[in-house]
Amino acid sequence: MNTNNLKPEIEMLKQESAPEHLKAQIVQAILDENKSKKMNKLKVLGLGLPAIALGIIAFGAAMAPKTALADPISQVRNAFEAAQNYHMTTYQIEGGQRKRVSESWVENGERTTYTVNEDGTLTQLDDLFIVVQDNVNGQMIKLAPVEIAKGEKAHTEIRETAVVGIKLAPAQISTDGQPPAPKNIQGKPFKVVEDNSLNVKIVEGSAIELIIMPFVDAEMNIESLQKLLEDKSLWDIESNQTINGRLANRYKLKETYMDFTVYVDPKTKLPILTRQILTDDKGKSTTTEVEYEYDGSIPPVVAEKAKPALIAPGKAVETKK
Amino acid sequence: MEAELLEKLKIKDADAITNWVEQHQNDLYRLLRHLTRHNETAEDLTQQTFIRAIKAIHNFQGKCTMRTWLHRIAFREYAAWRRKHRILAPLNPEWGKPDKAISEIDTNEGIINALHRLHPAHREAFLLHEVQELTIEEIAEVTGDSIGTIKSRLHHAREKLKRELATTFPQVIHEH
């Protein structure tokens, strides 16, 4: 079979042409982009990730060529402020089974995250990651760990490190399909830990583009959520939903490639549950839920910070104040 | 000529950018419009393709043509879009009504609809080869797949289209 039979139809398909306004629009967009890049080079941002953050929350708006969401990146950055005391439990839902994967405690802005091991014990996480995408071949690469303190404040530092690292990276272009090795501010190469196929966003850069995960952690802090919820244009809102037996307002994020919903206590306005559903290229969905508790939960303390410790839940030897 | 254009693009020369966009926009828009079946999305992705390309223009090494390179970027933009939007909205919700007269336009929509009943990878290979007129090697460059895979996809696309159009528009197949 050849396509001779279809030639007239194929010819018709070839007749499609761009609308008249498109050229001017594109040229203007390129020139504007260039202008804004010069004005604000620090626009390039990245966020660190706890090593557990396979359930990353990545809001996809920045992928949209037109600004569908009003600068969600800076919204989130601005929202990263000292958190209140609270406790987050992250669950992965697979095949209807809800599996607890991590626990985090936030005290005065300091967050301590633990993965839940198979035996129910907890392992503290210190490592933060940067994810970049090779602009040439599209590979996503998780870089790190970078020596940095844990906690939300670390995100800012790691971003700036990443920006500089990325700016030094053009010479590291991958042309052979192998992951490139961008360098950090000191010129030391990051260690390439593993490829990363998560849905994340690209910002800008030359050879290697930093990927933005604006609201990244599956365990988003309360201030970030609250700040986001203030922008009503981002959300479809349904009041008075019942979630886990409690009355809640439901905020569902618009215009994103992932399904992301925040359930908020209508009285306190505090988030009580977030649910994100990420679907990969093969149609496989991963659901992550995060429950927020405001009961003054006290985190366990790891005796030796340098070494990840195993602590049975509820059996911490020491407790923080 | 292309080298001269390239140098001007690297310094963001406005005239060069205008010419460059003019030269390639129809090509890219057509591909993206057929792939996405959505005019505004095709416009957005076309724009995004040029923006990405101009940012990465320093990386263009001339190992393939500018056209192929732009197709590769456009295809990645499309792939990212597809990940985000799994449901493809038909351009015309009225398509496929059995009692509609078959005009030239309808036939055109007919093949588009038939294309969109293909497996995405088959559809993409077909559009890149038959409509965009890329060679097998160029398609492999654009999609990152092997030549054998592209050939196989083209074969399946043609076979499926033949069957689809024979059912929906029998005169199309028989008259040519």
Question: A208: nearest CA in chain B?
Answer: B56
Chain A closest CA to B108's CA: distance in Å?
A: 6
pLDDT at A149: 26
**Inter-chain CB proximity B17 and A31 less than 8 Å:** yes
Using the Cβ of A198 and the Cβ atoms of chain B, whether some distance falls under 8 Å is answered with no
CA distance A124 to A118: 14
pLDDT tens digits for range A165-199: 222 222 233 334 333 444 333 333 333 332 233 22
Using the Cβ of A176 and the Cβ atoms of chain B, whether some distance falls under 8 Å is answered with no
Chain B residues with CB inside 8 Å of A138's CB?
A: 76, 144
Chain A residues with CB inside 8 Å of B154's CB?
A: none
Q: What percent of chain B has pLDDT over 70?
A: 78
Reply yes or no on whether the pLDDT at A5 is more than 60: yes
Reply yes or no on whether the pLDDT at B73 is more than 80: yes
Q: Is the dihedral of CA A222, A225, A228, A231 positive or negative?
A: negative
pLDDT at A78: 33
**Inter-chain CB proximity B21 and A23 less than 8 Å:** yes
Tell me how crowded residue A292 is: count the other CB atoms within 10 A of its CB. 24
Tell me how crowded residue A286 is: count the other CB atoms within 10 A of its CB. 18
pLDDT at A254: 61
Question: B112: nearest CA in chain A?
Answer: A13
- The terminus-to-terminus CA distance of chain A in angstroms comes to 76
Using the Cβ of B108 and the Cβ atoms of chain A, whether some distance falls under 8 Å is answered with yes
pLDDT at B111: 73
pLDDT tens digits for range B6-57: 888 888 888 999 999 999 999 999 999 888 878 888 888 999 899 989 988 8
In the structure encoding, which two tokens stand for residue A151, read together?
């906690």
Q: What is the mean pLDDT of residues B94-123?
A: 56
Give the closest of B12, B21, B176 to A26, CB-based.
Answer: B21
pLDDT at B85: 54
Reply yes or no on whether the pLDDT at A58 is more than 80: no
Using the Cβ of B4 and the Cβ atoms of chain A, whether some distance falls under 8 Å is answered with no
- Interface probe for A, chosen from B8, B11, B29, B124 (most Cβ of A below 10 Å), is B29
Give the closest of A7, A26, A281 to B176, CB-based.
Answer: A7
pLDDT at A161: 26
* Complex ipTM: 0.76
**Inter-chain CB proximity A22 and B43 less than 8 Å:** yes
Chain-centroid distance of CA A203 in Å reads 13
Greater confidence, A125 or B31? B31
CA distance A165 to A163: 5
- The terminus-to-terminus CA distance of chain B in angstroms comes to 40
DSSP state of B131: I
Chain B residues with CB inside 8 Å of A7's CB?
A: 176
In the structure encoding, which two tokens stand for residue A235, read together?
């959300």
Reply yes or no on whether the pLDDT at A154 is more than 80: no
pLDDT tens digits for range A7-57: 777 887 888 888 888 888 888 888 876 654 433 322 222 222 222 222 222
Using the Cβ of B30 and the Cβ atoms of chain A, whether some distance falls under 8 Å is answered with yes
Using the Cβ of A5 and the Cβ atoms of chain B, whether some distance falls under 8 Å is answered with yes
Q: Per mean pLDDT, which range of A48-62, A133-147, A233-247, B36-50 is the poorest? A: A48-62
pLDDT at A295: 55
pLDDT tens digits for range A258-295: 577 878 777 777 777 888 776 655 667 778 788 877 65
Chain B residues with CB inside 8 Å of A211's CB?
A: none
pLDDT at A112: 67
> Tokens 């797949």 sit at which residue?
B145
In the structure encoding, which two tokens stand for residue A216, read together?
């990244």
Chain B residues with CB inside 8 Å of A60's CB?
A: 84
**Inter-chain CB proximity A13 and B112 less than 8 Å:** yes
Chain B closest CA to A273's CA: distance in Å?
A: 23
CB A316 within 8 A of CB A307: no
CB pairs < 8 Å spanning A and B? 142
Burial of B127 (0-12, 13-18, 19+ CB in 10 A): buried
> Residue A116: enclosing H or E segment and its boundaries?
strand A110-116
Mean pLDDT, chain B, rounded, equals: 76
Contacts with A, B 83-102, CB within 8 Å: 83-86
Chain B closest CA to A135's CA: distance in Å?
A: 8
pLDDT at B164: 74
**Inter-chain CB proximity A29 and B144 less than 8 Å:** no
CA distance B56 to A204: 10
Give the closest of B14, B162, B176 to A8, CB-based.
Answer: B176
Using the Cβ of A306 and the Cβ atoms of chain B, whether some distance falls under 8 Å is answered with no
Give the closest of B45, B56, B61 to A135, CB-based.
Answer: B56
